Structure 1
Amino acid sequence: MIVLRFFQWLFFLLAFVFLGLGIWLWLAGEDITKAAGALWYSLDVSSLNLAQVVIQRHLHLPAFWDNAIVPYLLQRAAWESILWLFIGLMLMGGLLSVIGRRPKRRHTFRSE
């Protein structure tokens, strides 16, 4: 129960971090209509390379990087990628809150 709550709040926190990042990029005057990968590359190429190395080599998920992250997040417009990350993380947190919810006690009144 506690572990589910921790991950629920972690997903909610990450969702709002990505939303804040999107708003910050927009207010900073970055071109958020560019592909997310191109924008990330122009902002900080080393962190993009680090993310790729961690996912492909250390987590041993090269297919996940090539088949999920690149086409669905890095090749889309930055605003769209951030929006999908926000929605996905909010849904994951909401799902964990439903799974981790304590069952309600039913009160029955018996007439004696």
Structure 2
Amino acid sequence: MISIVKFLLRVLGFGLLAIAIVVGIADASRSIAESQIMFKPLGQLWFEMSPETLNLSQAVIQRYVHPIVWDPMLQTVLTWPAWAVFAGVGVLFLLMGARRQKRRFRYA
């Protein structure tokens, strides 16, 4: 059972890293076109993709979890570059799903 969860964490981690690479390439091409560094924040990307779910998640978190979780915490994360958030969470999932190293006994 644990191996299935670790496998799913690895797959999800690699998927998030792939999304981070795509978003990073889009940011890099936009930066080259504008001749200045431009990163798209996660909140802007989420709003462009699905504004309804952004508003719904805000309402659900503020009502059922706690308003503090949304206002200072998640709003801060939503202002970070999207590629950095996806890459960070992807690496975290890869670390959680990493296979254990088998111990090898060495005889001197």
TM-score range, shorter chain: 0.5 to 0.7
Percent of aligned pairs with the same residue?
27
Matched residues in 1 for 2:74 and 2:85: separation?
10
Tell me, yes or no, if structure 1 residue 13 matches structure 2 residue 11.
Answer: yes
Partner of residue 35, structure 2: none
Shift in alpha-carbon separation, 1:67–1:46, aligned structure 2, 3 A: same
Structure 1: segments with no counterpart, 5+ residues:
107-112
Q: CA deviation at 1:44?
A: 1.7
Tell me, yes or no, if structure 1 residue 44 matches structure 2 residue 47.
Answer: no
- CA RMSD after TM alignment: 3.1
Matched residues in 2 for 1:82 and 1:20: separation?
9
Shift in alpha-carbon separation, 1:93–1:65, aligned structure 2, 3 A: farther
Partner of residue 34, structure 2: none
Shift in alpha-carbon separation, 1:64–1:12, aligned structure 2, 3 A: farther
Q: CA deviation at 1:41?
A: 0.8
Matched residues in 2 for 1:67 and 1:8: separation?
31
Residue correspondence of structure 1 range 56-71 to structure 2 within 5 A? 56-57=62-63, 60-62=64-66, 63-71=68-76
Matched residues in 2 for 1:47 and 1:41: separation?
8
Where in structure 1 do 4 or more consecutive aligned residues deviate above 6 Å? Answer: none
CA deviations 1:48-97 (Å, max 9, x no partner) are: 2344345455xx433444454332x3121111111111111112222xx4
TM-score by length of 1: 0.60
Corresponding pairs, count = 94
**What's the secondary structure of 2:84's corresponding residue?**
helix
Q: CA deviation at 1:22?
A: 2.5
Structure 2: segments with no counterpart, 5+ residues:
31-37
TM-score by length of 2: 0.61
